[in-house]
Structure 1
Amino acid sequence: MDDLRLEPLPPTLEDYLDLRRLSGLTPKRPDQGAPALTNSWAWRRIVDATGRSVAMGRVVGDGGWYFLVADMATLPDFQRRGLGRRILEGLLAEIREKAPEGAYVTLLADPPGQALYRSLGFSEPTSGSVTMHLLMSA
């Protein structure tokens, strides 16, 4: 892991699209990925010795009280090495440092990441809230 480096930067568009697709997240098109790279509140990526992003995560938020962790992804050959933990800890540290007290941090926890998220203090809502979504189509 000495040749892997954590950076507070977004991946390239090509790396972003590859990481999503190869890690099992829903593939996205360049016209969807480009705004994600420029309009996020915070990014973390892990790059290998060649500069290729092998893991990533980002925060979408208003900077005040609401922060959504998204796009947590690691290439299959680099999974189970603690890279997701390093990324998420870095993102949470930035929220703690920059956001006002009482910030609300949320995420959609797919089964492979649930143990990691719980180990860092995330829990399911006890208020009866459920995750809902709407996929916009043309």
Structure 2
Amino acid sequence: MEQFQLIEQPPTLEEYLSLRRESGLSPKTPEQGRGAIENSWYFCHFADSETGRAVAMGRVIGDGGWYFHIADMATLPAYQGKGLGRKIIDTLIAKIRSSAPENPYITLIADPPGRRLYEKVGFHEISRSRGMQLPVQPLN
């Protein structure tokens, strides 16, 4: 881990967009990226100590009261398997637990590649609820 520096703030907009794209998350526009960076409850990332490049990230969105959602968990492929994702999610959860009122509700949407990590941390499927989304409307 000494090769990496944990930074408790978002990466640059360019790094955010690149991390999403290169790690296999859906690409976002600069406008979407700015909104994500500016409106997150908490954000952290790892930078490679030699290059300064952001190589892993995660953030929390929420109301600061009881609801907290972990999003944008991403690690560049060349840096996967080094424990960065685990350290990011541990940091996000620790921040929620230290800053939020008692018994926060912590959620995430687990894509198949991340499920094993999330289960190791203690997340489990919600039994009676089901994730849903509203399809994107085409621009006219």
In which range does the TM-score fall when normalised by the shorter chain? over 0.9
CA displacement at 1:134 relative to structure 2: 1.3
Which residue number in structure 2 is paired with residue 70 of structure 1?
A: 71
The correspondence of residues 76-115 of structure 1 with structure 2, limited to 5 A, is 76-115=77-116
1:43 partnered with 2:59: no
Q: Which runs of 5+ in 1 are unaligned?
A: none
Q: Percent identity?
A: 56
Which residue number in structure 2 is paired with residue 13 of structure 1?
A: 13
- Counterparts of 1:63 and 1:72 in 2: how far apart (Å)? 20
Query: Which amino acid letter does the alignment assign opposite residue 79 of structure 1?
Result: Q
Query: Which amino acid letter does the alignment assign opposite residue 35 of structure 2?
Result: P
Q: Which runs of 4 or more aligned residues in structure 1 lie more than 6 Å from their structure 2 counterparts after TM superposition?
A: none
Q: Deviations over 1:37-95 (max 9, x none)?
A: 11100011000122210000000000001001000000010001110000000000000
In the alignment of these two chains, the number of paired residues is 137
Query: Which amino acid letter does the alignment assign opposite residue 92 of structure 1?
Result: I
Which residue number in structure 1 is paired with residue 53 of structure 2?
A: 52
Q: Deviations over 1:93-132 (max 9, x none)?
A: 0000011111100000001110110111101012x21110
RMSD: 0.9
- Counterparts of 1:5 and 1:73 in 2: how far apart (Å)? 16
CA displacement at 1:135 relative to structure 2: 3.3
Which residue number in structure 1 is paired with residue 129 of structure 2?
A: 129
- Counterparts of 1:134 and 1:81 in 2: how far apart (Å)? 35
1:31 partnered with 2:19: no
- Counterparts of 1:91 and 1:136 in 2: how far apart (Å)? 29
**TM norm structure 2:** 0.94
Q: Which runs of 5+ in 2 are unaligned?
A: none
Query: Which amino acid letter does the alignment assign opposite residue 120 of structure 1?
Result: V
Which residue number in structure 2 is paired with residue 118 of structure 1?
A: 119
Query: Which amino acid letter does the alignment assign opposite residue 117 of structure 1?
Result: Y
CA displacement at 1:136 relative to structure 2: 3.2
Query: Which amino acid letter does the alignment assign opposite residue 10 of structure 1?
Result: P
